[in-house]
Every structure is written in C-alpha cells, then in structure tokens.
Structure 1
C-alpha cells in the first residue's frame, strides 16, 4: 500500500518559527489518538525545518462548511456531529489523559481535517502550550483566531484547558449553523455568531439556526442537545464550562433510539452535490 504524506515547512529566520516548530514536535510527537493528525517525523537542515504528517485527503471543515468542498455536497447533520464529536474526544485526550496536558490554543474549522470516512482530525499544534501537573493555568501572549478565542484569555492572557473548551463550543455552533464565527457582511445583530445564537435560543427560535443548506434537518432533541453542549462550552465564565470529557459524554447521550435503529436510519455523509 502506498504511504501518503503531507508536510509543514518552516524557514527559521526569526524566533517564533523555531519556537512553533519545537512546540509542535514536543506537543504531539509522542501522542496517538485516532482524531489527531499523526506526526510521522521531522527533518532539520540548516535554517529549514520540516514536519511530516499522515496525509488527509478530504479537505478540512472550513472548506466543507464555507469553501471549495461545498461543491462536493452539503455535510449531513450526522457527519457534522461525527466530526465535532471526534474533535471533542481528541481534546479530552489532550486535556485529561496525558501529562503534561496539551492546550491547543487554535481550535478552528480550518484546523479540522476530514478523512475519507468523515472522521475529524485535529491538526496544527504550532501555537500549543503544555500545562504541567499542579498548574491551573499559564500566562502567555494572546494567540489564536478572532471569533474562537475565549474572553478571559483575551482579557488577561491566562490560558488553560477551558480556553480550548470555549473554542470547541464556537466550532460546534459553526457546524450546526454553517456560519462563520464573525461575519461583518451580516446585519449588526448577526455579526457575532455566538451572541446571535444566544438571542435566537432565548427567543425560542432555535430551529431557525440550523444550516439551511442541509436537506435533512436534525430532530428537535438532537438539535437541543448540540446547542446545550455548545452554549455550556461558550459560557463567558470559564469555571462554569464543562470539561471536554463531560462535553463528550453529553454529545453521546442516548436520544431514545436503540443502536440498531440509529444504524438503520443513518444517512450518507453528504446531501446532494454535483459529483
């Protein structure tokens, strides 16, 4: 079987590039999880650095929700939940199952790669931080992507696993709605997706937030569960957010259907498309 690889290159002309290279090797060089992109090796030659990863050929979540992969079809509700649940499990592993903990610090849809079975795989650990045993947080320069970054991290520079939890909540809402976290082309009250969604849920209009491009809409119960988890994750008070392990358990909660019934009713990963 032919082994497919993909690489990430660094040209070390300034300190941040060298730092990101070292962090990425240290953060995920020793970890193994089916929802993490595997780092297979690295190369150092002069001022050049290369990280070699497993090859993921099915685009990323940002492309499926907003970009080039949209022409392949629209992700079904089941595919969106499968992808985001996989990322939740990967984060629970990084936060709760290894030592030191790994705080990703840049959870966003373009960093979620998707394989041929529509499993989500978390990638790009260049901004990650390691949180050692006994430490509740670290203080660091604010990094990440606007719209996904936790408010307390923006305001204080204090970073811990609850910062990733907030970003995951935004990611889950993005998957549900098909909207960018921040979009200035929308009406003023819809620019910031999280605040708009809170208003919609508060006005009992939750069913209107689902991506209109999806042909088969989720059940009320499935939508309620996803929104409940997401809104808990984006709570402005960090201590009130769940752990990623708790988020996984909430997303996996039974909805009254037997496993056999769910298997029989499971649709394809995409609706429509021109392929």
Structure 2
C-alpha cells in the first residue's frame, strides 16, 4: 500500500512538473516568434498550465498534444525549446513569416504525427534529426528557402504518407524510397528524381504522372477519409473534454421548478498551483474572505482579470489521491441551479486541494447582517424574503433532484452568498462529502458550526437531508433577527445562549417586535415575519422525522400549507411542554432542597 501511495504521489508531482515545463516551452516559442502585443495574449508565463491557452489542445491528463498557429504573420524564429514537448502530435505554423533554421530539436518530438511549416521564410538544411520521428505521417515544408539535400533519414520514416517539399532550393538526388510514399511533391527545387523517375517529382498526376493517377486517387480517398475521421474525433474530444479555450461548450439544464430559466455551464477547469498562488498574492492574509471548518477562502484575480474565490481545504486525508478527488469534484459540479454556487475548477497537488468559485460581489448573508462597514446598506425585508426562498430552492435541488442526493451539513448565513442582484447562492455544498467520503468511518467526523448543528447529528454523527433542514431553520432566524446562532452576551439578561431558545421564548410570549432585527427600523410586514418564524420553528424540531422536507419548506414560504402545519405543531408543542412541566414538578423539592445534602442522599438512585 505504501509503495502504491508513493507511486501515486510521484505521478501527481510529475504531472505538475509537466505543466510547468510545457508552459515554459510554449512561452519561449511565443517570444522567439516575436508575437505582437495583441497576439497570444493569454499565453501567460505566470499561468503555467497551457491547456487553457488559445490555439493549444491537451489530452485529459493535461499533456499538450496540438499547437496550431497558422497565418499570424510572426516575423521571428522557432525556439529549440519546443523539442521538450514529447506528447505533441501536431505542430502547425504555416502561413507566417518565420525565418531562421528548423531546429534540430524538433527531432525529439517522439509523438509527432503531423508537422506543417509551409509558406514561411525558413533557411538552412532539413535537419536529419527529423528521421527520429517514427510516428510522423504528414511532413509539409513547402514554400520556404530551404537548401541542401533531402536527408536519407527521412526516407526511413515508417509511417510517412504525405511529404511536401516543393518550392524550396533543395538540390541533389531524391532518395528512391520516397517515391513509395502515397503523396509527395518535390517540384520547384534543383532536385534530381533519378533515372527511374526522371519526371515524377510529384505524385498528383502532373508532369507525366499519369501512371500514378489511379493509385493516387485511391490513396487520396483513403487519406481524405482518415482526415475526416480525425476531424470528427477531434470534435468528439472537444465535446467530451472541453479543454480548448477557443471552443466554448455550453450545456443548458432545465432547473426543476424554474419555468423558462436555463443555466449554462462548461467543463471544469484544472488550475495550476502557481496560477492560484499568483491570483491570491501567495494566499495573503489580506485576501481572506472567510474561514470555516473546511478551510480558508481567499479572494483572487486570475491573469485575465476574472475575480474568483479560492477555497483551500485543510482536511482531506485522501488515499484515493488526485483521481478520487477529481471524481468527487466533477460529481458535485453537475449540481447546477441558479441558487447554488457554480464551481469553476479545482487544483490538486500531493499536499493541497483547492476549489475555485466565482467571486460573489455582495459576499455572504452573515456579512450583510452583522459585519457591514460604515455606509454600506442593510439588506431590507423584501430582500431577506427573497434570500430565504432562494436558499430553500437551492437545498431542495440538492436533496431531491441530485442523484445521489447531496447533503450540505453546514447550512448557515455565512454559507449563503449573494450575487450582484442579492440573489441567494448556497455555497460549500458537497464539501463534507469531498472530505469524508475517503474516511473509513464518516460518523466520527461531525461537520458544521455549533448552534446550527441538529441534535441528532451531534449525538450520533449521522447526517441526513433533515440535518440540513435544521440548519436552514436557524439561518431563517438569523435573517429575521440579524443575530448569531450562539450569543453569550445574552447570559447577562437571560439563560438563552442559543438563538433558537431565545426566539421560542419570545414567540410564546407574543413579543415578535422584540425578535426582529433592529437595523430594519420597523420597515417590515409583521405577518410575514411571523410566517418566517413559524417556518423556522417547524424546521428546527428536535426530532428529524417531524421536520418538513425542503420541498415543503419552499411551498410554505410561498404561502401554501403553513397554517395547517403550524396548527399541528402547536398541539404537539403544548403537549410536550405540559409533560416537561409535570416532570419538573415531580422532581422539584423546593427552593432550599437543592442545597440540602441529606435530601439528595435520601432520594437514592433514580
């Protein structure tokens, strides 16, 4: 097992080293080509994962497999550093003004199947190192200023089916083996095609090539079909993986209960560690947006000036490694709803797990209730109602429309975020699963925030969707009161440290005005306040079986079925309170008996 983990960690480390050297090699190519200020602007040396760059394709393992830079009028040269891209299968640089020689280092591209440098200003000889490209099928060096002979090593390429060297200044004898290639063109040079093929310097039927027409027609048909298959396969690859930045995939998902609203989302992006380091100023303390049981959240700015929130997980212990984490992340990313925080991407290293989300302009409900800076507006009552309903819909989607269902396990005002329109967006869902799914005993890890945790979760460690319902009820009380779930300052006036107990007491005493957040300055509807408190108390019942499902919560907030459910709850609550008072009288020995040691001892064991 230790050997397996060691190999896995080494593989992960190598994958990140790979991203670094690939990005460095491509950026060196950009510099050597003398790209202008408005060309390849997203080829950023600080963003070392090139799989997000334009004109670059990668495989699912983030290995660069294709670079296409056609007709961009580059005046520079080819960097020899490109020779380190051992996974590159296609390199296309035709139609530019590239000068200088073809680097011999191109012979190191052991996976290359297609090399196209047509219509540039390349000089010097064709490097014999190209004969090392045993997988090469297409070699196009037409319309340059190449000199010297055709290297014998080229004729030894076992898979070459298309060789175009026309319109250069090549000289000498064409190796006989090259005439066996299905498609070739050596015209426009000072080449001798040999005694057996004095005029056959081209295989397309020109210059007395009539004998080759039938063969060429068949071959061209085969090659054409092959190319079509390649193109079709490439399109399928894009649809499945969405790695290429220039090809934006949008999938529209109908959201349950949301008529005529559709949400677009694309492929998850895999970030390099260095990208997120730079985006967050090396995870500077000044960029911390929040902190919780799963880790810290940092504000970040990507190289394209996109603002993001970066969640740095602190507790994952992942024997499944990078692959297991990625599977869980991708599963959670499928949960798409207007009231759920969209996951942009993630980053993994042998020692780090990070999640990247859009930056929410209005931060969290907790911030808007209790952490406002001077001059910032308080969220009004209509907005609070909209937040309550939006959060309920998001949780309903997680519980009842995801397969398998997703349990949040830390529902609170701090985890309900607000976009630019103050629309509620539930965040951090699925994090408990990401952390605990890899533990042998998930019940040993109680996740959440004191004051928001359901009693059965605290006592057994087992959570369900009704655990989330309890946390949601506490969040409703936060919305109404503006107070924290636990507030020790209340000890000075009463015994109710818990917000839930405090609200229950005031509700029984019919002191609703004392419950409402004073920052609202009485700008609220008391009937609507009463209804929200009733929903909150129904959600926070001690027994999980008695709590409503989130779909029922949504209906009650919309005005359907609350009165009946509340009346039923009141009957149960009165019965429970009477039973509690009866038991309290049974064990009440009087005010002084608490200090009467004899009375305690005489009472015996109970």
- Settle same-fold status: TM greater than 0.5: yes
Q: Partner of 2:547 in structure 1?
A: 241
- CA distance in structure 1 between the partners assigned to 2:315 and 2:452 by the alignment: 28
Q: Partner of 2:454 in structure 1?
A: 150
* Equivalent position to 2:504, from 195, 198, 204: 198
- Contact kept, 8 Å, 1:105 with 1:129, in 2: the verdict is no
Q: Partner of 1:29 in structure 2?
A: 333
- CA distance in structure 2 between the partners assigned to 1:247 and 1:189 by the alignment: 30
- Contact kept, 8 Å, 1:27 with 1:125, in 2: the verdict is no
- CA distance in structure 1 between the partners assigned to 2:328 and 2:504 by the alignment: 35
3-state SS, counterpart of residue 467 of structure 2: helix
Q: Partner of 2:513 in structure 1?
A: 207
TM-score using structure 2 length:
0.38
Residue 68 of structure 1, CA deviation: 3.4
Deviations, residues 31-83 of structure 1 (Å, cap 9, x unaligned)? 10111110012222443333221221111111111113574121111111111
- Contact kept, 8 Å, 2:409 with 2:448, in 1: the verdict is yes
* Equivalent position to 1:169, from 473, 476, 500: 473
Residue pairs, 1:46-65, within 5 angstroms: 46-65=350-369
Structure ranking higher on relative contact order (CA contacts 8 Å, 6+ apart): 1
1:12–1:182: structure 2 CA closer, same or farther, 3 Å change rule?
closer
- Contact kept, 8 Å, 1:24 with 1:124, in 2: the verdict is no
Q: Partner of 1:115 in structure 2?
A: 419
TM-score using structure 1 length:
0.80
- Contact kept, 8 Å, 1:23 with 1:127, in 2: the verdict is no
- CA distance in structure 2 between the partners assigned to 1:23 and 1:202 by the alignment: 49
- CA distance in structure 2 between the partners assigned to 1:200 and 1:234 by the alignment: 16
Q: Partner of 2:403 in structure 1?
A: 99
Q: Partner of 2:47 in structure 1?
A: none
Deviations, residues 193-247 of structure 1 (Å, cap 9, x unaligned)? 1001101111111232000110243223211210111000001111111000100
Aligned length: 246
Question: Which ranges of structure 1 fall in alignment gaps of 5 or more residues?
Answer: 131-137, 255-275
- CA distance in structure 1 between the partners assigned to 2:549 and 2:353 by the alignment: 35
Residue 5 of structure 1, CA deviation: 2.7
Deviations, residues 126-185 of structure 1 (Å, cap 9, x unaligned)? 64349xxxxxxx845322100000001111122110000000000000110111110111
1:146–1:21: structure 2 CA closer, same or farther, 3 Å change rule?
farther
3-state SS, counterpart of residue 520 of structure 2: coil
- Contact kept, 8 Å, 1:64 with 1:74, in 2: the verdict is yes
Q: Partner of 1:250 in structure 2?
A: 556
- Contact kept, 8 Å, 2:451 with 2:486, in 1: the verdict is yes
- Cα RMSD of the aligned pairs, angstroms, is 2.7
Bigger Cα Rg: 2
Residue 95 of structure 1, CA deviation: 0.3
- 1:84 correspondence with 2:84: no
- CA distance in structure 1 between the partners assigned to 2:375 and 2:390 by the alignment: 24
- CA distance in structure 1 between the partners assigned to 2:383 and 2:373 by the alignment: 14
Stretch of structure 1 that moved more, 37-46 or 238-247: 37-46
Residue 125 of structure 1, CA deviation: 3.2
- Contact kept, 8 Å, 1:59 with 1:69, in 2: the verdict is no
Question: Which ranges of structure 2 fall in alignment gaps of 5 or more residues?
Answer: 1-303, 435-441, 561-606
- Contact kept, 8 Å, 1:210 with 1:217, in 2: the verdict is no
Stretch of structure 1 that moved more, 23-32 or 218-227: 23-32
